[in-house]
Each structure stands twice: as C-alpha cells, then as structure tokens.
Amino acid sequence: MSSESHRPTQEDVAREAGVSRAVVSYVINGRSGGNVRISEKTRRRVLEVVQRLGYQPNVNARSLRTRRSQLIAVMVPDLTNPFYPLMIRGAQAVAQRAAYDILVYDCDDQPARERSFVQAMLGRMVDGVILVAFHLKAEDVSLLTRAGIEVVGVGGELRPLGVDVVVPGEREAVRELMRHLIDRGHRSIAHLAGPPDTPPGRVRLEAYRQALAEAGIPDDESLVRYGTFDREHVADLVGSLFSSSRHGAHPTALFAANDVMAIEAIRTLARLGWQVPADVAVCGFDNIPEAEVVMPPLTTVDQDAEAIGRRAAELLLERLRAEAPLPPREVKIACRLVLRESA
C-alpha cells in the first residue's frame, strides 16, 4: 500500500522489476518490432510487477509524447433528439474497442455553439471528430483538418468540404415509402415539407417529387405545404389541405417530412373528423418513440442511427490508423421502412 495517492509510474515498475524504464515502456507497448527484443523472461517479470503494483499508464504523459489524445469528439445539434444518443452509442461501441473515449458536445440547437465547440475540440487536441453540423462553414472545418484532426461528417452538408461523410439513404427511403402508398392505390399524395433551406427538408421534398414522376403522377404543387419540422403551423397546413369543404376531392395520403409533423397531422385530422388511415393515409420520417404510441401507430422510416454512428467511427479509426492521407469517402446507410397502421 503506497502512502498517499501516489500512482505508480514506469519508474516504480522498473525499479521493482530490476530493469530500466525503457524496458518497461517496451513491454507495455508490445514494441516487438525494430531492433529491440525483450526476452520472454524479462517481459513476464515486468508484467507481473505491473499487475502487482496496479500500474496504469499516465495518458497525459503519453499524449504529450505521442501527440495522440485517444479522444474522439462527437458534436450533435440536439442531444434530446433520440436519433443522436443512438448514434453516439454506435460510435462509442466502435471507439471503445480501440481504446478511444468519447467527448460529447451538444449544441442544443444553438448555431453559435457549433463554432465555439470547434474551438474546444482544437484546444482539447482530440484525434478525431464526428460532426453533425448544419451551420459550420468550410473554414471552420479546415481549422480542424489543418490541426491534424480527422473529421467525419454525418449527413450530406459536409460533403462539399472534402471530408468523409456518412449519409442516410433518405432519397431511397422516401422513394420506397411513396411506392408503398402508390401501390396501395393512392394517387393524390400531399406532402408536409420541412423548411426548404434545410438539407433534410429539401432532400425529402425532392425525393417525393421524383417518386411521383416515376409513377407517372402529374406534379401538383397545390399538394405541398411548407412547415418547420415542429408542431407549429401543422394544424393550419393540414386544415388548408383537408378543410371539410373539400371533402369531395381531397388527397388520400399525406407524407410528412418528419414524425413530429406527422403525429400532429394525425391529431389534426382526427379533430377535423377524418379517419386515418381509412380516409387519409399518413406517414412520417424518423421513427421517433412517439410514432409507435400514437393512434393509429405511424408508418415511417427508421434511419438506423446506431449503424450511422458505428460507420462514422469506423471511418474515423481507419483514418487514424492510416499511414498516408486517404481520399474523402462517402458511405450511405440504408434506411428501413417501418410499416404500421397509419398507412
């Protein structure tokens, strides 16, 4: 029992084992290569002392020396969005195996934080970063890459910046969803779109239009309403699509750009006296927990956040292990259609 909280160092181990500090370092790091060979007997003795003393390397000293912090930062727009905890879990599962710890930066939907967190990452000297950022400029990201920090982006926004990206197959998923509706006979399908100045809003709208075109259904701009990804305005928008005066010719299906809007739409429709899915089929996007509980349960799309996190971490680790610089890569993670009762 050592006096005080004196954590044993390589020095202590070396003394106890009767070898030099360098030998301990070699044994610890399994430095079998090079012109240095440690005898099996010595190796064992050192390891035994390491055990006995409970020696643990000092990460700070190691980092100072190797310029590797064994730290990965994950920056997300909104930690309370259930997508991100899952993504983080996926990333952590991969990182943990390679002895990396995960630093979480939650922007809480405040754009200014993205930049200030970039500064924090720089200061913390993380080895790599998984970024989900909507407001970062190319120069912010290049701050990271120039500092030798590897960057992987999640979502298409960062693609133009020349970093690895992991993107969910949103287009394909919307296509599949629309096909499902069309197969069930729907021809008049409305869309509750997200803000067209956000990438997801734009992508989902485009994919919606494309799916209609593929099915030979003429584009009808009057079936599209623009919302804000939250509950606000949904009641009005749905009202304008399904006002009772239009009971004659109304859309028979509604595709909302996310589940929050879809759920609010279902409630609004119920208030207006429409049956879902009998009168109107409704589907969303994201597969949030509420989607399973709403009545009727919501047909939607699951992005497999965990897989996205895993792949992002894998790309990052590959880069961290790579000798030479790698070209920017793009990985697409397929979404999964979740068929429930609402459509």
Partner DNA sequence: TTGTATGCGTTATCAC
Partner DNA sequence: GTGATAACGCATACAA
Contact flag: residue 37 with DNA (CB under 7 A): yes
Least Å distance, CB 57 to DNA, is 4
Phi and psi, residue 225, nearest 5°: -125, 140
- Asked if residue 252 lies in contact with residue 246, where contact means CB atoms within 8 angstroms, the answer is no
By CB under 7 A, name the one of 31, 115, 209, 250 that touches DNA. 31
> Which of 70/142 has CB closer to DNA?
70
Compute the least distance from the CB of residue 335 to DNA, in Å. 42
Neighbours of 240 (CB within 10 A): 11
- Alpha-carbon distance 84 to 74, whole Å? 10
Other beta carbons within 10 Å of 312: 30
Residues β-bridged to residue 189: 253
In this structure, what are the phi and psi dihedrals at residue 231, rounded to the nearest 5 degrees?
-70, -25
Q: Which of 32, 44, 57, 146 binds DNA (CB under 7 A)?
A: 57
Q: Of these partners, its own copies, DNA, none, which one is at the site of residue 137 (CB under 5 to 8 Å by kind)? A: none
Residues 155-214 that bind its own copies (CB under 8 A): none
Q: Are 137 and 128 in contact (CB under 8 A)?
A: no
Q: Is there binding between residue 339 and its own copies (CB under 8 A)?
A: no
Q: Say which DSSP state 83 is in.
A: H
Is residue 295 part of the contact set for its own copies (CB under 8 A)? yes
133 to each of 128, 196, 205, 316, how far by Cα in Å?
A: 15, 17, 21, 17
Question: Interacting stretch for DNA, rule CB under 7 A, among 52-60, 116-124, 259-267, 296-304?
Answer: 52-60
Q: Which of 216, 241, 231 is nearest to 263 (CA)?
A: 231
Q: Residue 92: which of its own copies, DNA, none does it interact with, CB under 5 to 8 A by kind?
A: its own copies
- Which letter does DSSP use for residue 218 in this model? P
H-state helical runs in the chain = 10-17, 21-28, 40-53, 59-66, 83-97, 111-124, 138-146, 170-183, 199-214, 234-242, 259-271, 290-293, 305-321
By CB under 7 A, the residues from 87 to 106 that bind DNA are none
Tell me: does residue 198 bind DNA (CB under 7 A).
no
We find the least distance from the C-beta atom of residue 342 to its own copies, in angstroms, to be 13
**Taking CB under 8 A as the rule, does residue 325 contact its own copies?**
no
Name the segment binding DNA (CB under 7 A); options: 55-63, 176-184, 252-260, 272-280.
55-63
> Using the rule CB under 8 A, is 124 a contact of its own copies?
yes
How many residues belong to the site for DNA (CB under 7 A)? 32
Residue 76 forms beta bridges with which residues?
Answer: 106
Helix (H, G, I), strand (E, B) or coil at 200: helix
Q: How far apart are CA 140 and CA 119, in angstroms?
A: 9
Stretch that binds its own copies, among 78-86, 129-137, 206-214, 272-280 (CB under 8 A): 78-86
**Minimum gap (Å) between residue 187 Cβ and its own copies:** 30
Does 80 sit near its own copies (CB under 8 A)? yes
Give the separation between CA 142 and CA 151, rounded to whole angstroms.
9
Binding site for DNA (CB under 7 A): 7, 9-11, 18-23, 25-26, 28-29, 31, 34-39, 41-42, 55-58, 61-62, 64-66
Binding site for its own copies (CB under 8 A): 5, 7, 56-61, 63-64, 69, 79-80, 82, 84-86, 88-89, 92, 96, 101-106, 108, 120, 122-125, 146-148, 263, 288-290, 292-295
